[in-house]
Amino acid sequence: MTFENGVQLTVKEFDTLDLGNGKTVIKEFVWETQKGMTVHVISYGATITRIKLPDKQGKVKDIVLGYDNMDGYRSSTNPYFGATVGRVANRTGNAKFLLNCQVYNLSKNRGENHLHGGIKGFDKVNWKSYIDGTQVTFSYLSVDGEEGYPGDVITNLVYNIQKDNQIIITMTSKCSAPTPINLTNHSYFNLAGHDTGSKELYNHEFKVNASNYTPLNADLITTGEIKTVENTHFDLRSPKALLELVPSSTPGFDINYCLDVDKSKDLSFIARASHPESGRTLEMYGNQPGVQFYTANFLPEDKNVVIGKDNSSYLKHGAFCFEPQNFPNAVNYANFPNSVLYPGKEYLHKFVYKFGIN
């Protein structure tokens, strides 16, 4: 095996599809590091499908939920496993926004609301790909009017896998007309193994670097308020075991945290997760003001609904997501950080998954 700077990249065919213009090849990119991490990404949705890591005993497990084939990734029950989501991640209330005195109506794919880019968001397209050494850039042109958004938007995602088991993802966008942009990755993690379920997720410990959060209404739409985590169960400024916070009878976490950003640094500490028994840890760093912490509350309780890799049943509270982002529904609240990109400007979102062993 030949490594370049401690990393090897191979490319293969994951599947072929007819997306309406003939045979389309879905590519799979596989990185291996000298420290034992393997990362798989497919061109469909620029999706992370596998991350294999050794534990403190050297036993290797796949720690992200996903599917073995495209039938799974294109199924109606796929809850965005590992995907790039956009143009706008999270929920936009009433599927509309006002921009420059014009109302834009977006596609409705969660009741009366718009979620993760709509009916055919960035997660449901096959991205073009370009290789430079062991670095891969995925590119997609979202045209004016797609899912109701104004302007053409060209987006590039760079996957850069490091020999010390870091995954660095850089997302950039440029537009032809003012439009909201808020991209993220929607990987579902379970550091004990993708198939170990809520039993092991409850044993995870979590820390989120945030003193405030954005409350939600009954439809899970942000209200425009920003509240302190002090004296609430949202306070994860010091590590807490999920078992202390989310008994199986409660909904779990699905909330945006307003990060305590370190303005002296390009990337601020976002959050940390650890699984004491395996010793695996995940730290996140990024440059966005928020992160969605989600404990897979909407995965089903019926084991026959979502069948993933290795014929595994994925169930409620079987994984967690750290989704770095702008505040949800920011385009509709003047007090939230700006989410509108203008021609001549560049949207830049960079974040890091840093894996380790305790």
Among 30, 39, 35, 36, residue whose Cα is nearest residue 60: 36
311 SS3 class:
helix
User: How do strand 347-357 and strand 280-286 relate by DSSP bridges?
Assistant: antiparallel
User: How do strand 321-325 and strand 268-274 relate by DSSP bridges?
Assistant: unpaired
Instruction: Determine contact, residues 265/303, Cβ cutoff 8 Å.
Output: no
Q: Is 317 a catalytic residue?
A: no
> Which residue among the candidates 40, 114, 186, 194 is catalytic per the annotation?
186
Strand partners, 141: 154
Q: Is 233 a catalytic residue?
A: no
Q: In angstroms, rounded to a whole number, what is the distance separating the alpha carbons of residues 124 and 127?
A: 9
* Residue showing tokens 């945030």: 210
> Which residue among the candidates 32, 40, 323, 349 is catalytic per the annotation?
323
The one-letter code for the residue type at 17 is: L
305 SS3 class:
coil
Q: Which of the residues are catalytic? A: 186, 323
